Amino acid sequence: MYPQRTGLILWVSDLKQTKHLEKFGTIHYVSKRMNYVVLYMNAEKAEETTKAIQKLSFVKKIERSYRNEIRTEYNSNVPDKAKLYT
């Protein structure tokens, strides 16, 4: 079905060259103020792609996004107070 995706946060020194990052994956967000780019790519090729991106001269640092590892299903043992007022 859909391939597993992973996100990378790329800290860059120059935003003019962020167009070159499109060949590595999908650019999701570019912060002009803090000079970083959020890039999504296939998880299978993430290691090879990270090594290739690190060699680019305008990339300062690469961080992995932990969005896939955050728990999104919540359970609450506290009773709902809205039901008390109805």
CATH number at residue 14: 3.30.70.80
In a domain, 75, yes or no: no
Rounded-to-integer distance, Cα 51 and Cα 46, Å: 9
pLDDT single digits (tens) 28-57: 999 999 999 999 999 999 999 999 999 999
Number of domains in the chain: 1
The predicted structure's pLDDT at residue 53: 96
The structure's pTM equals 0.77
- Residue numbers of the domain that contains 47: 5-69
Rounded-to-integer distance, Cα 70 and Cα 52, Å: 27
Percent residues over pLDDT 70 in the chain: 99
> Is residue 2 over pLDDT 80?
no
In a domain, 81, yes or no: no
